[in-house]
Amino acid sequence: METVSTSRSFEGVQGVYRHASEATGCDMTFAVFVPPQAAKGPVPVLWYLSGLTCTHQNVMDKGEYRRHAAEHGIAIVCPDTSPRGADIPDEKDNWQFGSGAGFYLDATEAPFARNYRMATYIAEELPALVAAQFPVDMTRQGIFGHSMGGHGAITLALKNPGRFKSVSAFAPIAQPSTAGWSRPAFEKYLGADEAAWRAYDSTLLIEDGHRVDELLVDQGTADSFLNDGLRPWLLEEACRKAGIALTLNMREGYDHSYFFISTFMGDHIRWHADRL
């Protein structure tokens, strides 16, 4: 693992790191904030998954999480959203596919199957690296994310029961298998058989019996993607039928941006801290 940069912040350390990933077949960059409490022993870890077009940098620069993480003594890990590089298959003019749009799944279709294995990367490879290199307590993990990352956080929690003690999301893509901005990506990554898509759709995973104890979601009412891409009412209905305790906060006047995320970041970190 290579250290790209480190900076002192709120008495902790914000670092950026790079390593060669076997899962994605390329170098991957990620950010970790280690709070000051880690000087006395391992701390809980909270994974933040970013949305379409983003890298680790977006939340690191605009998410305003460090003060809250330092207050509660939680490490924050911010992975990239996809593999990147000149030899990675991509559609450079399509922000909903390829670089920046890995959808936290393991692709099965050529030529994408070789590199777009973000589910394995987030669930297996990166946690092993973080556990080996940072003072974190892997028995106390939470996960959250924004938009595509909210989708990823919920699906990973549903498919890894017991690993994450808490899961939340900002404006998650509730049902990507039917959303206009994610269906084309699912078909290119996973093929035309929609049965294979169920493994990466929160509402369908719940329908198929996967469970978390509880879920926190914040959604802005002025989000331009609300009615086409996000549709939180589908997640609400799936949770209601399954008996999952969902707290869905519809935030009046807020959009899809990091102004929205940073406003409620403290609420989410506090919610996770109570459970970690």
Work out the number of other CB atoms within 10 angstroms of the CB of residue 181: 19
Burial of 87 (0-12, 13-18, 19+ CB in 10 A): exposed
27 catalytic? Reply is no
State the Cα–Cα distance between residues 234 and 138, nearest whole angstrom: 32
Residue 33, strand partner residues? 14, 76
The answer to whether residues 52 and 148 touch, using CB atoms and an 8 Å cutoff, is yes
Per annotation, catalytic residue among 72, 210, 256, 268: 256
State the Cα–Cα distance between residues 3 and 125, nearest whole angstrom: 18
272 catalytic? Reply is no
- Tell me how many helices (H) and strands (E) the chain has: 9, 9
Per annotation, catalytic residue among 147, 168, 177, 182: 147
Tokens of 167: 């899961």
Contacts of residue 185, defined as CB under 8 A and 6 or more positions apart, other chains included, come to 96, 97, 101, 103
Which of 135, 104, 101 has its CA nearest to residue 118? Answer: 104
Per annotation, catalytic residue among 80, 201, 218, 223: 223
Tokens of 49: 């998954």
146 catalytic? Reply is no
Tokens of 89: 């298959």
Q: Which residues are catalytic?
A: 147, 223, 256
